[in-house]
Amino acid sequence: MMMDAAPGDDGGESRRAYHHGDLPAALLAAVASLVEEQGLEAVTLRAAARHAGVSHAAPAHHFRDKSGLLAAFAAQGFEAFTRDLEQARNTTEGTPAEQLDAMGRAYLAFAVAHRPWFEVMFRPELIGEHRAEVSEVGKRSFEAVVAQVASCLTPQTPPEEIAGLAMSAWATVHGLAHLLSAGPAHDLQVAEADAMTDAVLATLLAGMRANPRWIGDTIPN
C-alpha cells in the first residue's frame, strides 16, 4: 500500500492517512459532500483532506492542486453519467424515439440526483490544464446521444445533420436539467417537475419528428 502521508506529518492524522483504504475515492467523495453541504467555493485540497479524515499533505500524493482534484471529480461524474444514459437506452423496449426520450429522462434524473457532479462536470474553467483529459471522458456521453439520434433518422442522413440535431436535443435537455437541479424549478413538487419534463421532451420530439428523414417511431427489423 502506498503511504498517503509521511510519518510524523500530522501525528495521528498521518497514521489515519496511511491506513486509508482508497484515498483518491475518499477525497472525491469528500468533494461531493463539500459541494452539497457548503457549495463549490468550499472545495480545497485541505478541506477535502479534513473531510476524508487524513492529513492535509495526503492529497498531494494523488492530486497536485484543486484543479486536478476537480478534474478527477468531473471525469468520475461523466463516467457515471454515460453509464446512466446507456442503461436508459439499453433497458427501454420500444422505438428509437422512446429510447431517446428515456435517455433525456435519465439525463434529468442524473442532474437532480447528483447535483455536485453536475455542477462541476460542465465547468471547464475549474479544471485548467486538465480540460483535454476530462473532455475525452465527457465526449462519450455526447457520442451516446449522437448514436441514438442517428437511429431515429434514415441511414442517408449526413453526419453533420445528425450532430446538429443531437446538439439541439442536448442543449434543450441540459437547460431543463439546470432548472430542475439548482435553478428556479428546483423546489417544484414532483408532479410539477414531471409535468414540465413531459412537456419539454414532447416538444423536443415533436420538433425532431418534423425532419423529413425521421424514422424514429418505427422499430427496426
Q: What is the mean pLDDT of residues 89-114?
A: 97
For the segment 4-19, what is each residue's pLDDT rounded down to a tens digit? 333 333 434 433 444 4
- pTM (predicted TM-score): 0.85
Q: Residue 38: is its pLDDT beyond 60?
A: yes
For residue 21, what pLDDT is reported?
A: 60
For residue 98, what pLDDT is reported?
A: 98
Q: How many residues does the chain have?
A: 221
| Exposure b/e, 68-90, CB count within 10 A at least 16 = b | bbbbbbbbbbbeebbebbbebbe
Query: Could you tell me which residues are beta bridge partners of residue 46?
Result: none
The 3-class secondary structure across 118-151, one letter per residue, is HHHHCCHHHCHHHHHHHHHHHHHHHHHHHHHHHH
Please give the helix or strand (H or E) that residue 153 lies within, else none. none
Q: How far is CA 7 from the centre of its chain?
A: 37
Alpha helices in 152-189 (DSSP H): 159-181
Cα separation of the two ends of the chain: 53
What domains are there in the chain, each with its CATH number? 12-61 (1.10.10), 66-209 (1.10.357.10)
Q: What is the mean pLDDT of residues 168-189?
A: 92
For residue 134, what pLDDT is reported?
A: 92
CA atoms of 185 and 193, how far apart (whole Å): 7
Contact 166, 141 (CB under 8 A): no
Contact 133, 74 (CB under 8 A): no
pLDDT cut 70: percent of the chain above it: 90
User: φ and ψ at 155, to 5 degrees?
Assistant: -60, -20
For residue 164, what pLDDT is reported?
A: 96
CA atoms of 162 and 78, how far apart (whole Å): 22
Contact 124, 131 (CB under 8 A): yes
For the segment 60-96, what is each residue's pLDDT rounded down to a tens digit? 778 888 999 999 999 999 999 999 999 999 999 999 9
How many beta carbons lie within 10 A of that of residue 93, not counting itself?
Answer: 9
